[in-house]
Amino acid sequence: MLAAALAGSGGGTGDSGNSAQLQNAINILEQLQSAYGDGNSGTGGTGTTGTTGATTGSGTGSTAEALKAHEIYQENVAAAFNGIDNTLANLVTSFAGGHTVDQSQLDSLLQAVDAALAHVGSAALLTSAGEQQVTKILTIALDQAEKLAGNTTTSAQTTATDINELANQYLLILSGENPNATVSVAGVNSVGGTVGQWISEAAQVLKKYGITLTAADEQDLAVIIEHESGGNPDSINETDSNAAAGDPSRGLMQTIGSTFSEYAVPGYNTNIYDPVSNIIAGTRYAIARYGSLSSVPGVIAVNEGKAYVGY
């Protein structure tokens, strides 16, 4: 059903409609269908973020409950897809280590996963069966992510943990319980990993502008980055008020364009997605607004064991 619909969507010209990228997505969808059925259990979605239908299934409770779940689903699905896509992309990067990842294949994987989750729809919020479908889909997705990255060393225990964390992240965002839910990815959003290297490089530049980062400051930056972007320098929030105003939050620290322009420094002021440039601008903004990185509301909340809040 979904695979056939995707195959008919085209996108290229002439004989290139079913490109290798699209065919890969179709192949993945065919595997995912074993997790969520043949599409006859409800009103499946279109597979486009934010415009999906909801599968309420049978025996899911009262009509009022189903309608409420559908309303919550429609309200949060775009953010949930964005969160799970960012986490999967980070996992692929982590699994790959120093190897190059084929971006077109990664895009195909994310497209297929979003389409499969869209088919489950609001059933994920209504029944344990819906939650189990989400888990099955993400199990297949993680397996595909490992294969895409050429990973052969991840233990079964690590994989099971990742699957549970992925499912929890998706359901927490989808339900609206925690819109900022993230999954920690080793080597990507830890201070000692790639993000740690970017922070160190930014720290050297910031020192020239009178800002000396302590080890605690660098840890605070890691907390902000983990919760704002999951360590993905290409992250973009297309669902918040900034996006509605035409200036979406972007990059590691999710700065908007106007903030980046004001707080970036020469040599690091042309690309908001450049991780070092984004950290420099985001750090200068946070210190200017709150006085110190330790005073950023989200950092305070996390240190007190509470949910992160945006800055």
DSSP-derived secondary structure for 78-109: HHHHHHHHHHHHHHHHHHHTTSPP-HHHHHHH
CA atoms within 13 Å, Cβ hemisphere of 106: 19
**pLDDT 10s digits, 161-170:** 778 888 888 9
Res 166: pLDDT: 85
Res 309: pLDDT: 87
Distance CA(305)–CA(308), nearest Å, equals 9
Res 153: pLDDT: 57
How many percent of the chain have pLDDT more than 70?
70
pLDDT of residue 307 exceeding 80, the answer is: yes
Domain boundaries, the chain: 2-7+18-175, 194-303
Res 294: pLDDT: 92
Tokens 């707080």, residue located: 263
SS3 state at 255: strand
Closest residue by Cα to residue 191 from 223, 230, 229: 223
Q: What share of the chain is helix, strand, coil (3-state, %, to 5)?
A: 60, 0, 35
Q: Which amino acid is at 59?
A: G
**pLDDT 10s digits, 275-287:** 999 999 999 999 9
- Give me the phi and psi of 236, to 5 degrees please: -140, 135
pLDDT of residue 32 exceeding 80, the answer is: no
**What mean pLDDT comes out for the span 55-59?**
41
47 pLDDT tier (thresholds 50, 70, 90)? very low
CA-based Rg of the chain, rounded to a whole angstrom? Answer: 20
Distance CA(145)–CA(113), nearest Å, equals 11
The fold of 194-303 is Lysozyme (1.10.530)
**What mean pLDDT comes out for the span 179-187?**
62
Residue scoring higher pLDDT (18 or 98):
98
Please tell me the pTM assigned to this model. Answer: 0.49
Res 87: pLDDT: 80
SS3 state at 236: strand
CA 246, 235, 23: angle at the middle one, nearest 5? 105
Ranking 85-99, 136-150, 230-244 by mean pLDDT, the lowest is 85-99
Enter the DSSP assignment of 250: E
CA atoms within 13 Å, Cβ hemisphere of 136: 18
